[in-house]
Structure 1
């Protein structure tokens, strides 16, 4: 995406009923862009939906029901927007997600599958659906809201970490690491927005592959990098001696 877009962009954001998705939705409308907000059960968050739909921003806005775990609904939604309604999705933000805490051995298989469906298969599915249209227009941005948990699993977060690692592994070029324990979500949302449109802290940096945010992620990244560097220091020699002569 080029810096300082000359016309409003259309954002499709998943998981908008609360948290980061809601904050980013507000920011998108504040800046005059068009918004397609989605959530699994809009009827359960009527006040939030009404707030977004009545936002005074100049851009268009709609709130659609979307369960990212439902392949048929995902296909219908993207096809209806891009083909039937002629709505060009400029920015897809895969934000929907959740975490079931508990030791790995106590998690049920259906719980693990649900986390993988929501935070890996769902985002990958939506990306595959919108990419042909973006390629046809020769422009577009896909943002995958990931987590430092994908770098290195932590206690009681095995399923969540597995889903995040899978998401990062498949779509790392578009990954923005933004989950943080004690961070300011509004500041994080603004940083993500700036990088998408090439403004503020994102000026000239729109093509960067990752956006790490949060002191905890800074620490985690350095620990992981240090761990790999240590392994190379200790075993680097043998690492390069296991190939055929």
Structure 2
């Protein structure tokens, strides 16, 4: 049986980089991609020495260009078994300071890029009745904190279309996995983008300022989660191996105790919301019984 073939975006750093190297060292075939491979020549060389190939791919390119990129990647080994949408960045700031141009750029990278690439690989996967789509989301795809309005919007959108897609393509033999990392030792804090418009003075001392300060301070702090271990968890779920042996059919993979803590908070918030609004939502029955 031939080894699985991965196409991974955002391989210059973070989860994309670590997952590409892990798959290659496990004997799989990998087409690693990034927007500017010339910026990481040593990494490109490392991937190629391990038997992988590296393609330039900007996920914000128009669909015809992305279609050519998928065709080129498919031609390397004849198919793509696993697509990992790992490319992304965070735009953080008070919502009112984020321009339309900045908002659209955030959505293009984190939402429309993965959406288009997913659409482009699906026909071949459908024809083979096999394939896996891995979407690298975030705890921001579960909880929208102050300063993360557009970043969370991009991840919420990614999760929503992927959840619907999960149910659409499962009967066709295609898997969809949403990965929700907590705080890992990636370059998230260093690579974040701030709006061109400065934060108005009225926001000083508010949650927006607090979250921004904490995020920036986190650039020099040690993350509680290890990226290599996180990627091993993703790899194991995709392959049904290791700690994920027997774990089948999951849509979401939370990574890190901090991520799970936020999920529990969201569950409590929803349960409380249902409790305090029960008289309202139960009063809308057509028969007027409220029962």
TM-score (structure 1 length as normaliser): 0.91
Deviation of 1:175 after TM superposition, in Å, equals 1.0
2:15 aligned to which of 12, 15, 20: 20
Q: Secondary structure at the match of 2:147?
A: coil
Deviation of 1:196 after TM superposition, in Å, equals 0.2
Q: Which has the larger radius of gyration?
A: 2
1:202 and 2:202 are equivalent in the alignment: no
Structure 1 unpaired stretches of 5+: 1-5
Q: Which residue of 2 aligns with 1:186?
A: 228
1:142 and 2:133 are equivalent in the alignment: yes
Q: Which residue of 2 aligns with 1:96?
A: 87
1:156 and 2:147 are equivalent in the alignment: yes
> Are the equivalent residues in 2 in contact too, given 1:153–1:161 (CA < 8 A)?
yes
Deviation of 1:90 after TM superposition, in Å, equals 0.4
> Are the equivalent residues in 1 in contact too, given 2:5–2:29 (CA < 8 A)?
yes
Distance 1:236 1:186 in 2: 45
Q: Which residue of 1 aligns with 2:253?
A: 211
Give runs of ≥4 in structure 1 deviating > 3 Å. none
Structure 2 unpaired stretches of 5+: 167-176, 185-222
Q: Secondary structure at the match of 1:208?
A: coil
> Are the equivalent residues in 2 in contact too, given 1:66–1:73 (CA < 8 A)?
no
Distance 2:105 2:159 in 1: 18
- 1:113-144 Cα deviation digits (max 9, x unpaired): 11101111111111111011001001110000
Q: Secondary structure at the match of 1:35?
A: strand
Distance 1:212 1:109 in 2: 31
Distance 1:134 1:203 in 2: 23
Deviation of 1:86 after TM superposition, in Å, equals 5.9
1:78 aligned to which of 57, 60, 70: 70
Distance 1:135 1:20 in 2: 26
* Structure 1 residues 237 and 7, CA gap change in structure 2 (3 angstroms): farther
> Are the equivalent residues in 1 in contact too, given 2:37–2:55 (CA < 8 A)?
yes
Deviates more, 1:151-160 or 1:213-222: 151-160
Q: Secondary structure at the match of 1:99?
A: coil
Q: Which residue of 2 aligns with 1:3?
A: none
Deviates more, 1:201-210 or 1:173-182: 173-182
Considering only aligned residues, what root-mean-square deviation do their CA atoms show, in Å?
1.5
> Are the equivalent residues in 1 in contact too, given 2:20–2:32 (CA < 8 A)?
yes
Deviation of 1:73 after TM superposition, in Å, equals 1.9
Q: Which residue of 1 aligns with 2:32?
A: 37
Q: Pairwise mapping of residues 123-134 of structure 1 onto structure 2 (< 5 A)? A: 123-134=114-125
Across the two proteins, how many residue pairs are aligned to each other?
235
Q: Which residue of 2 aligns with 1:224?
A: 266
* Structure 1 residues 139 and 198, CA gap change in structure 2 (3 angstroms): same
Deviation of 1:101 after TM superposition, in Å, equals 1.9
TM-score (structure 2 length as normaliser): 0.77
Q: Secondary structure at the match of 1:212?
A: strand
